[in-house]
Structure 1
Amino acid sequence: MRQKSSANRDLPPRMIRRIRKGTTGKIWVSYYYNGRDEAGKRKEIPLGTDLDQAKVEWARLERKAPPKPNHLMSYVFDRYEKEIIPGKSIRTQSDNHKEIKQLRKAFESAPIESITPQVVAQYRDARTAKVRANREIALLSHAFTIAREWGLTDKANPCFGVRRNKEKPRDYYAGEIVWNALYSEAAQELKDAMDLAYLTGQRPADVLKIAATDLNNGFLLIGQGKTEKRLRLRLEDAGIQSGLSTFINDLLERRAINGVKTSTLITNSSGLRMSQQMLRNRWDDARDKAAIKATTDGDLALAASIRQFQFKDIRPKAASEIELTHASRLLGHSTEEMTKKVYRRIGEIVKPTK
């Protein structure tokens, strides 16, 4: 089979592009279907001058579904979901799919060339979920950058220079009273998850995947799913066991007594690995019980504080209760500024006047 002309390699099979220059110097482009007539002789069937319409007509002749126009944002989103998102972490994939779902509502049928900084700013202002809008614009920006690499557009990224909504980092801190109130109502597997999360300072998803096989030569090996950062948590220092080591030894002993075979440290009462939903259900149940108890005791302020407590607040609690440099390294941050700005949720220690 003869190799397709380089001028037509971006077109579907048997579609031809004809480019002619008129007497006035104007360039004329038209598309044809390289078909056959009734006698079997080669015949070029006109498809028109509009590429998208030509592809629709080509699909009819080929008896195929018409391809999506590649000058629309829908094509960019489809290809981004198919080629780019699968290479990201599981959590990021989930977030990106939600973000694209929102972006499609506004930009699905819009031509790529029609997206301007003004349009992006209007989208930002129209979204009621301001923080989510920032994430969606960030994804739109990356999708536009990739679209430029794919050759779908050569215009500047319209997201560059567009202000983002101001974000205020979550500043909730679970003090000892709140912690104890919820902890006392928690099932044993939730208590184990809380203790492991606090002692390691890791994200909920990373806590749930820690296994006995991660114990190696006096260290607990951690692989962070979000950043792919690898850590080794020391279990002993100068022959003295850490609190984490004591907790793990106690947990392994209880698992052995109960006949738990799963290597994952955090399991349910049946010995099965704890899923995110299992954790969420147990957390909500314990939090509701603790809040109801506080309300019954007449402490409405405590009840309100308990209801604000989320499992993800354990990580910043851990970061807030140890020295900054230690906290930054434990959390796997590249700079102490990130730890200080987002995860340190208690103030500086000072003395009273008297």
Structure 2
Amino acid sequence: MRRKTVSQGLPPNMIRRVRKLKSGKTWESYYYTGRNADGKPVEIPLGKDINAARRKWAELECMKIPADTTLMRLIFDRYELEVIPGKAPATQKENLRQLGILRKIFDGAPIDAITPQIVAQYRDQRGRQAATGANRELALLSHVWNMAREWGYTAGENPVRGVRRNKERPRDYYADDAVWDAVYGHASPELRDAMDLAYLTGQRPADVMKMRWADIQDGALEVRQNKTARYLRILLDGEDGRRTELGQLLDRIRGRERKIRSMYLVATPEGVPLNRGTLRLRFTLARQKAADALAEQGNEALAQRVLGFQFRDIRPKAASETDLNHASKLLGHTDRQITQTVYRRVGETVLPTR
């Protein structure tokens, strides 16, 4: 079928071609019409997106790009469609939430109308409600802006760059042995396995939940971290040939009688692997039982400390209870300063002056 040419509502020298495909779908694309040096008519493809086509048309006509083709709403839409799906599931969910917050402020603004002063105002106003959240949203806005520049929406400098962030205070909760033992004593077998694995490997909860028996290769537990994609091999035997505590833990889990054998290291007696939700439920239940028992014993101070314990605090506990160099390698950090600043939650042990 011959393509239909439509130019109504379009700028001069710009046309839209429409074609009905055999599949029943409608194909359409935009073109710039002009003449070459010899005076012969030529058509330059502008793409299928009307806003992108109008920007290219403006460049060819040496005119200012129409402001309504560079609205942040359009850029957010494209980022949500093309960039976010390539991220990890948890990151996708968080980015979509952050994007919803950013849209309320920036959706109707042309990209070049956003200045560092406007970004700073957003930081201050949003920071009164959630200082850390505002920082994460600005980081996302910065990435959106960089992608928009690659896509041709702007040639300007990133207005987020150079704008200082809200001051953040890293979480400093330390789960000492009293807190650990209290929760561990009320934990189900699969929760104990998860706690032990998290402590002995120093890995994030998501990385612990996905550990499988197939990950044990050549005397080591192989880990690929979700967040950084970094590979680690955590040895199951020491240099003296004796089993490490991690190796002993895996032997104990493997030797436990189960109704159904699971592919995953952390699973219920029925062979069902734990996920983020079931881990949280089990941990919350054990923590509450431990706090209630301590309260009944009159130990309110420890009960309150137990209630502040979160599963994510196990990774800093692991980092705090070994030397800094080993902790940095175990956690998969390339910079020991990150381990020291964010994850080490006990001070250095020193002697007094005398």
Question: What is the TM-score of this pair, normalised by structure 2?
Answer: 0.81
Alignment of 1:204-243 (within 5 A): 204-237=205-238, 238-243=240-245
Q: Secondary structure at the match of 2:69?
A: coil
Q: Does the 8 Å contact 1:17/1:32 carry over to 2?
A: no
| Structure 2 residue aligned with 1:9 | none
| Structure 1 residue aligned with 2:269 | 269
Cα offset, 1:30, TM superposition:
4.1
Cα offset, 1:14, TM superposition:
3.9
| Structure 1 residue aligned with 2:184 | 183
Return the alpha-carbon distance in structure 1 between the equivalents of residues 87 and 319 of structure 2. Answer: 27
Q: Does the 8 Å contact 2:260/2:269 carry over to 1?
A: no
Return the alpha-carbon distance in structure 2 between the equivalents of residues 159 and 309 of structure 1. Answer: 35
Q: Does the 8 Å contact 1:186/1:286 carry over to 2?
A: yes
Return the alpha-carbon distance in structure 1 between the equivalents of residues 221 and 6 of structure 2. Answer: 60
Q: 5+ unaligned residues in a row in structure 1: which ranges? A: 4-12, 19-28, 37-50, 56-68
Q: Does the 8 Å contact 1:17/1:31 carry over to 2?
A: no
Cα offset, 1:187, TM superposition:
1.0
| Structure 1 residue aligned with 2:124 | 125
Q: Does the 8 Å contact 1:144/1:157 carry over to 2?
A: yes
Which letter does structure 1 place at the counterpart of 2:254? L
| Structure 2 residue aligned with 1:245 | 247
Q: Does the 8 Å contact 2:258/2:270 carry over to 1?
A: no
User: Does the C-alpha gap of structure 1 residues 35 and 308 become closer, same or farther in structure 2, counting only changes over 3 Å?
Assistant: closer
Alignment of 1:1-354 (within 5 A): 14-15=6-7, 30=12, 70-127=69-126, 128-237=129-238, 238-254=240-256, 257-352=257-352
Which letter does structure 2 place at the counterpart of 1:76? I
User: Does the C-alpha gap of structure 1 residues 339 and 16 become closer, same or farther in structure 2, counting only changes over 3 Å?
Assistant: farther
User: Does the C-alpha gap of structure 1 residues 2 and 207 become closer, same or farther in structure 2, counting only changes over 3 Å?
Assistant: same
Q: Does the 8 Å contact 2:73/2:108 carry over to 1?
A: yes
Q: Does the 8 Å contact 2:259/2:270 carry over to 1?
A: no
Q: Secondary structure at the match of 1:185?
A: coil
Return the alpha-carbon distance in structure 2 between the equivalents of residues 278 and 199 of structure 1. Answer: 21
1:201-236 per-residue CA deviation (whole Å, 9 max, x = no partner) reads 000000000011111111111110110000001111
User: Does the C-alpha gap of structure 1 residues 302 and 32 become closer, same or farther in structure 2, counting only changes over 3 Å?
Assistant: same
Return the alpha-carbon distance in structure 2 between the equivalents of residues 103 and 121 of structure 1. Answer: 14
Residue range with higher mean Cα deviation, 261-270 or 212-221: 261-270
Cα offset, 1:2, TM superposition:
11
Q: CA RMSD of the aligned region, Å?
A: 2.5
Q: Does the 8 Å contact 2:75/2:144 carry over to 1?
A: yes
Which letter does structure 1 place at the counterpart of 2:318? A
Q: Does the 8 Å contact 1:91/1:226 carry over to 2?
A: no
User: Does the C-alpha gap of structure 1 residues 160 and 259 become closer, same or farther in structure 2, counting only changes over 3 Å?
Assistant: same
Cα offset, 1:352, TM superposition:
4.2
